Amino acid sequence: MPIQIISPAPFVTAADDYDEEHEGGVRLDFDNDGDVLMDEAPRRAGGQAGGIVTPGEVVTDDPQWMRGHGTYLSPATSGQSIISSLAGTISKTNKLLSIRALKFRYIPEIGDLVVGRILEVQTKRWRVDIAAPHSATLLLSSINLPGGILRKRTSTDELQIRTFFSEGDLLVAEVQTLSNDGLASLHTRSLKYGKLRNGVFMTIDAGMVRRMKSHVLTLPTSNGGGDVDIYLGVNGYIYIAKHTTPLTESTTEGKSVSITRLEEEASEAIYSNVNEEISPETRGEIARIACVIAALAKGGVKVDEEMVELGYEAALEEFLQGVEWGGDGEAGKRVVAAALAKRRLS
Amino acid sequence: MEGLRNDGRRWNELRRIHCQLSTSSTNADGSSYIEQGFTKVLCNVTGPAEPSSRQKVKQDSATVTCEVYFAAFSGTDRIKRGRNDKKVQELQTAIQKTFSSVILTHLFSRSEITISIHILSQDGGTLAACINAATLALIDAGIPLKDYVCACTAGQSTSIFDNEGSSPDPWLDVNYLEESDIPSLTVATVGDSEKIVALSMENKVRIERLEAMIAVGISGCAKVRGIMDSEVRRHGKEKLEAQGE
Amino acid sequence: MGPMASPSFEVGRPTDLDHTLSRLLEKSIRRSTALDLESLCIVTAQRVWSLRADLHFLSHDGNLIDTACIATITALAHFRLPVITVSGEDITIHPVTERVPVPLSLLHWPICVTFSFLGEDDDGEMVCVVDATAQEEALREGDMTVTVNKNGEVCQISKSGGVPVEAETLMKCARMAAEKVKGIDKLIAAALRDDEVVRNKGNLDWLKEGKSENER
């Protein structure tokens, strides 16, 4: 990604007048000619435009508030005032005052759907990168073993651990438990979860994925692309793949008669590393969706089901006008703007 | 007292500062770019993440690692500085120590925060620009800091010296020519507390002059902080507006 | 720095302290032009003396930087360079037995004083300690090294990170360093003077020994 360098700010010049210097006190007066804001307004939260606090800013002196995330107590005033340690917005829950940073690493929570990548294979477990401060663990006992859900884990499975997931494999999983210090443990004990293939992997900032009821979307695409599955990991990892029928069928229909047989068949394919044949049309649409998501995230718009659909529509319209597009630059901004306009209409 | 420096500035005049957040959108949790005059520095912050080696694991706090890269074309002479170059090592240690005391590391046990700094162009005040860039990148990465760390240089001019006891003006924010000519120091403060977290001087200067230099440096830091803060706010506002739609 | 000084030092692995130390000494002594480098020149742009200071730490109980600095300065002041005569292309290095070697031209003696900050006391006043022991160093929250010579010229200041400190406290430290240095300077001078006496006497003995060896 190229480095963005915007045009330089106007020059800041020094004013002529200054006081005779005294011990420890040199006055520096600067003209304010243009964009560089120099107003030294009393640094108090709330009164600031945009509602943003920055590190070191006193959020409140009021002792009734409790200190939450992103803040610390000032040692100078013996813990009276709450000071921000992040640049972000204030959020108040009852008496708890916390700061939400504009951008932050993913902090796992139980029940989150995440997309991850296997970092390391250990005995009986995998270490999975989920873009969090610590890598998550996936125990051999919390995956679906081939041959039906209820099969007992054997020592052969332990020896064959690499045949399920090996280093570099992508998977979709759910955060099962969290330890005291925030270490996540994952599970893939559902046919919705498991190894990912037949598609592309991309990352956006973790905060850019809106938490939804379902993070797996199936989008019917045009141009002969067929259906495309989108796994919107809460951790900002996203996988976009060709829609695969048997897996989702069995989970959505749940109680079909042939479920066991279906699952057996499915489970054979579950840990396959071979991609299916994907038509150029599907590839094109997958790429387009990836571009839409990248453009949305870049434009600062939270990614959710609605925005992906609207963005995709907008991108199609842009495409019909004969514009080449790589998800970046002006066209990207246009698509995002069009998608936002559509949302306002609906 | 009147008189301009070789680049037309007054004694208390900062060079143009241009800073930017989130400059590289991939592979880094936070990034920044800062220009102070012709000194140009790019900074990426990764973390808190799994430590890259076992040695770096601390049970009760995060490890701060700093990597500094000098571009071979950054100075007037084309010098390739390797990883083991003394100047590189010194900068790394200075930045790492400075930020270890300002980042609230106790919140991220057993993890590592990596600050990697690329110096694209040097025109005096390299350490100061590096510290400022790192502060911005850390803020962008959403890593909790006690406060801004802002750095600035100050020099001691020798040209307007007279024997009457009145000392010559200290110069704020020295450029490369001045830096190689006159004694100068780099001072880094935490927020607007006027408390010094890092101070470095490499030349000989009378102890009586030191105080004025430090004072000017601190005032410069406060100004730099204002500029950086307004950029952070501008960036944050932009981002909020995009999200709010 | 080997495990002899302290068990925490490992062989062959330079620590951060190593880097800090060598950089500080270099900044203090070389960059402050304490040593007149021109005097080490034999033939302009062709031949020069090369000086090398090796420091070995025998025991580590804190304040390595100051100790190392004092040791280096004393060694440099104590060092005598053989006399040379240049005639045309020929360079003769006179053995010490022939001509009395000359001292290096040290312009001033920069001396490091390291302050350790042990945090604030109840009144919010920073507690500073000079010449900290290893134990105090383990406890400190920040440190600063000031290099001053006896003329009150500050050659180098370095405070990287650690606890934030008021500028006023730092200035107080710098002034205190200037005072301390005067004392240290006197100590070094006295030691050198004492040595001079012994050396002058010893030198003759040594000369005699050398001669008797030759005769043998």
* Residue A312 domain flag: yes
Same domain, A57 and A125: no
Q: Which of A25, A103, A134 sits opposite B215 (nearest CB)?
A: A25
A346's CB contacts (< 8 A; 6+ apart) are A310
Same domain, A196 and A81: no
User: pLDDT tens across A313-327, in order?
Assistant: 888 887 766 555 555
Same domain, A54 and A200: no
Same domain, A145 and A273: yes
CA distance B243 to chain C (A): 37
ipTM: 0.83
Is B109–A38 a contact, with Cβ atoms under 8 angstroms apart? no
pLDDT at position C13: 67
Same domain, A162 and A79: no
Is A5–B33 a contact, with Cβ atoms under 8 angstroms apart? yes
- What does each C-alpha distance from B135 to A15, A39, C206 come to in angstroms? 28, 21, 62
Does residue A298 belong to the interface with chain B, where contact is any CB pair within 8 Å? yes
Cα distance between residue A186 and residue A117, in whole Å: 12
Span of A61-75, A115-129, B141-155 with lowest mean pLDDT: A61-75
Does residue A333 belong to the interface with chain B, where contact is any CB pair within 8 Å? no
Q: In which domain, by residue range, is A28 found? A: 1-102
* Residue C136 domain flag: yes
* Residue C7 domain flag: no
* Residue A294 domain flag: yes
CA distance A127 to chain B (A): 11
Same domain, A208 and A312: yes
Name beta bridge partners: A203.
Answer: A237
B211 phi/psi in degrees, rounded to 5? -60, -45
Contacts with B, C 15-74, CB within 8 Å = 16, 19-20, 22-23, 26-27, 31-33
Cα distance between residue C82 and residue A162, in whole Å: 72
Cα distance between residue B111 and residue A141, in whole Å: 27
CATH code of A64's domain: 2.40.50.100
Same domain, A63 and A117: no
Cα distance between residue A235 and residue C81, in whole Å: 68
Element (H, E) at C80: strand C80-81
Same domain, A131 and A242: yes
Do B239 and B232 meet the contact criterion of CB atoms below 8 Å apart? no
Residue of chain A with shortest Cα separation from B143? A86
Transcribe A280-319 into DSSP letters. HHHHHHHHHHHHHHHHHHHTTPPB-HHHHHHHHHHHHHHH
Cα A8 to the center of its chain, rounded Å: 32
Q: Which is nearest to B128 in space by CA: B111, B149, B102, B157? A: B149
Does CATH place domain B17-244 in 3.30.230.70?
yes
Beta strands in chain A (DSSP E): 52-53, 58-60, 66-67, 71-73, 82-84, 88-93, 96-101, 113-122, 125-129, 136-139, 170-178, 184-187, 194-195, 199-203, 216-221, 226-232, 237-242
**Which residues of chain B does A299 touch, with a Cβ-Cβ cutoff of 8 Å?**
242
pLDDT at position A126: 92
Cα distance between residue B240 and residue B230, in whole Å: 15
- What does each C-alpha distance from A342 to A288, A300, A308 come to in angstroms? 18, 17, 12
Judge residue C84's burial from the number of C-beta atoms within 10 Å of its C-beta, 0-12 exposed, 13-18 middle, 19 or more buried: middle
Q: Global pTM?
A: 0.82
**DSSP class of A16:** S
**Domain total of chain A:** 2
Do A264 and A240 meet the contact criterion of CB atoms below 8 Å apart? no
> What are the residue boundaries of the structural domains of chain B, listed by start?
17-244
Per-position pLDDT tens, chain B of length 245: 456 778 888 888 888 899 998 887 667 888 999 999 899 999 999 878 888 888 888 888 899 999 999 988 888 888 888 877 888 888 998 899 999 989 998 888 888 999 999 999 999 899 999 999 999 999 999 999 999 999 999 988 765 544 444 556 788 888 888 888 888 899 999 987 778 899 998 888 888 888 888 888 888 898 899 899 999 999 988 888 877 65
CA distance B241 to chain A (A): 8
A107 phi/psi in degrees, rounded to 5? -110, 115
* Residue C120 domain flag: yes
Contacts with A, B 59-78, CB within 8 Å = none
**Which residues of chain B does A1 touch, with a Cβ-Cβ cutoff of 8 Å?**
24-26
A81's CB contacts (< 8 A; 6+ apart) are A58, A59, A60, A61, A73, A74
**DSSP class of B129:** H
Same domain, A85 and A124: no
Q: In which domain, by residue range, is C56 found? A: 16-215
A248 pLDDT more than 50: no
User: pLDDT tens across C96-144, in order?
Assistant: 777 888 888 888 899 999 999 988 887 778 888 898 888 888 888 888 9
Is A37–B230 a contact, with Cβ atoms under 8 angstroms apart? yes
Does residue C205 belong to the interface with chain A, where contact is any CB pair within 8 Å? no
> Which subunits sit against C, judged by 3+ Cβ pairs under 8 A?
A, B
3-state secondary structure of B106: helix
Same domain, A195 and A135: yes
If one counts every other C-beta atom within 10 angstroms of the C-beta of residue C172, the result is 14
CATH code of A300's domain: 2.40.50.140
* Residue C11 domain flag: no
**Domain total of chain C:** 1
pLDDT at position A1: 35
A154 phi/psi in degrees, rounded to 5? -115, 170
Q: Which of B24, B33, B215 sits opposite A1 (nearest CB)?
A: B24
